[in-house]
A and B are shown apart, each in its own frame.
With several copies, the nearest count.
Chain A
Amino acid sequence: MPGQTLFEARVQPQPFDLAAEHTRLAALGPMVGAIVSFVGQVRDTPLTLEHYPGMAERQMQAVLDEARARWPLLGAIAVHRHGSLAVGEPIVLVLTASSHRAAAFQAAEFLMDWLKTKAPFWKQAGGEWIAAKGDDDTAADRWGDR
C-alpha cells in the first residue's frame, strides 16, 4: 500500500532472504526511489555468535529509530543472525529505502556502524572471543551524538 513506512529489527538463527526483504521496501509506494542493502558475511574462519536476547532487538530498534530521526527514510530493516556460521554465510543484513540515494546510502552506513558498537552480539572464532576493534568505535563516532 502506498504511503506506508516500515522499520523492523530482527534477531534469528536462520539465514535471511535479501530479495524478500528488498521487495517489502520496494513496495512501500511511489516515493521510494533508492534502496540500499548491506550484507555482512563470514570471512576467513567460521564464527559462533552469542547475543543478549531482548536487549539485542531493543538496541537494534533504537538504532533504526535514530536513523529515522536523522534521514528522510521511508523504511529500514535490520536482521542479525546468531549461532554457528560457516565461512561465506551471511551474518547481518541492513536495508534502507528513501526517495533519494544519499539518504539511503548514509543511513545504511550509519546503521552498520552503530549496530557494530551498540547491538549486544559477541563473536567467537576457533574457541577465542574476538576483541572489539577501535576502528568500529571510530566509525561509529563520526556520526556524532544527538
Chain B
Amino acid sequence: MIRLLYFAWVRERIGKAEEALALEHPASLRQILDRLRTVSAGHAAALADPSRLRAAINQDFAGFDAIVHPGDEVALFPPVTGG
C-alpha cells in the first residue's frame, strides 16, 4: 500500500486530495503513473503529460524513474509557484 497525495490542478482533475494504492513490490514512479491512469477518466486526464507534472516521494522531489516502496508517501502536482 502507498499513500498518494494530489495538489493544485492535479487534485482538481482527479477529484480527490488523496487516496491509497495497493503496492506489494517496489515499482518506478512511471509504473505507478501508468496504473493510476487506468483508475478513472479524471486520473487519465490529470496524469496524461508527465512533462507537466512533478513528484515527491516521502516529501522529497523525485524523478519518474525513482523507485516507490510499499509504505511510501507519493505526491503528484504541477511545477511549484510559491514565493
Interface residue from B5, B8, B81, B82 paired with A80 (Cβ < 8 Å): B82
Whether B59 and A122, one on each chain, are in contact in the complex, defined by CB atoms closer than 8 angstroms, is: no
Question: Would you call B79 an interface residue if the criterion is a C-beta within 8 Å of the partner chain's C-beta atoms?
Answer: yes
Check: A29 CB closer than 8 A to any chain B CB.
Answer: no
Q: Is B2 an interface residue when CB atoms closer than 8 A count as contact?
A: no
Chain A residues with Cβ below 8 Å from B61 are: 59, 118
B59 to chain A, nearest CB (A): 4
* CA distance in complex: A130, B82 (Å): 10
What sequence of 0s and 1s flags, for each residue 29-52 of chain A, a beta carbon within 8 Å of any chain B beta carbon? 000000000001000000001111
Stretch in contact with the other chain, from A14-22, A66-74, A109-117: A109-117
Secondary structure at chain A's binding surface: helix, strand, loop or mixed? mixed
- Provide the bound-state CA to CA distance between A116 and B82, in Å: 5
A121 at the interface (CB under 8 A from B): yes
Do A112 and B75 have beta carbons less than 8 Å apart? no
Interface band, chain B: 10 to 19
Instruction: Name the residue among B56, B59, B79, B83 with the largest chain A CB count within 10 angstroms.
Output: B83
Give the complex CA separation of A117 and B60 in angstroms: 13
Give the chain B neighbours of A59 by CB distance below 8 A: 59-61
A118 to B77, CA, bound (A): 13
Q: Of A52, A120, A131, which is in contact with the most chain B CB atoms at under 10 Å from its CB?
A: A120
Q: Which residue of A lies closest to B8 (CB)?
A: A122
Q: Is the CB of B82 within 8 A of A131?
A: no
Min CB distance B78 to A, Å, is 6
Contacts of A112 in B (CB 8 A): 83
- Besides A55-B60, A132-B79, 16 more A-B contacts (Cβ < 8 Å) are A49-B82, A52-B75, A54-B59, A55-B59, A59-B59, A80-B83, A115-B82, A116-B82, A117-B80, A120-B56, A120-B82, A122-B77, A122-B80, A129-B81, A132-B78, A132-B80
- Interface on B for A, CB 8 Å cutoff? 5, 7-9, 56, 59-61, 75, 77-83
